[in-house]
Amino acid sequence: MKYVLFDVDGTLIDAVSNQRRVWGAWAKRYGLDGHEVYQVALRTRPMETFAQVAAGRDPHECLAALHELEDEDVRSGVYAAFDGASELLHGLSPGSWALVTSNYEHRVRGRFLRTGLPVPDVIVDAAAVGEGKPSPVPYLRAAEQLGAAPGDCLVIEDAPSGVRSGLRAGMTVWSVNAAVAVEGVHRHFISLRESVPHILAFASAPPGNAAA
């Protein structure tokens, strides 16, 4: 069996407007410019963002405020799955795919519930690993839980840190939902929809066969 490991935000679910809104609300609490804060947040992890834009504030307080806003957004925000996501996930065999996210599992489940996407047995979230992307640890943990060899895994990503994580894990990595391919990927698709038949073909290939 081949296995497919998906990033979530930007790959399966379009959460850009939600992330912008959350960071804007967070910035307003601290009297900061929402656009400037969001531009930093796009490139850094939350603790690194706080260090840059709110160095005088308690980072743990900042994180608690961000988590509160994110949880509220999951309850009340509007989410959309990328075209092709439902067809793709329903087309994969149970136990052959997983989610690997820098977010938290309860938020992912909330978003999937809102968009009608199926939830897999394996979700590796921010709380499951000590090292996040671009470390290979998250993708290796997912493969371990699926009982998969890294060489039989396909990673679907949209961000450079996730791509590096998959590559360092020794997996095939494809990027989606961007006009230009992320550096290092084996294959690139402008949209998730375009990638669907190719991902399903990879998943049905015998183990050990390269399908990059």
What single letter denotes the amino acid at residue 170? G
SS (HEC) of 22-60: HHHHHHHHCCCCHHHHHHHHCCCCHHHHHHHHCCCCCHH
On whether the CB atoms of residues 130 and 137 are closer than 8 A, the answer is yes
Active site residues: 7, 9
On whether the CB atoms of residues 59 and 47 are closer than 8 A, the answer is yes
Q: Is 125 exposed, middle or buried (CB count within 10 Å of its CB: 0-12, 13-18, 19+)? A: buried
Reported in sequence order, the residue ranges of the chain that DSSP labels E, i.e. its strands, are: 3-6, 13-14, 80-81, 97-100, 122-124, 153-157, 172-175, 187-188
Please give the distance of CA 92 from its chain centroid, rounded to a whole number: 18
What region, left, alpha or beta, does residue 104 occupy, with left being phi > 0 and alpha being psi -120 to 50 degrees? beta
On whether the CB atoms of residues 175 and 188 are closer than 8 A, the answer is yes
User: With the C-alpha atoms ordered 11, 196, 151, 141, is the resulting torsion angle positive or negative?
Assistant: positive
Give the C-alpha separation, 53 to 30, whole Å: 10
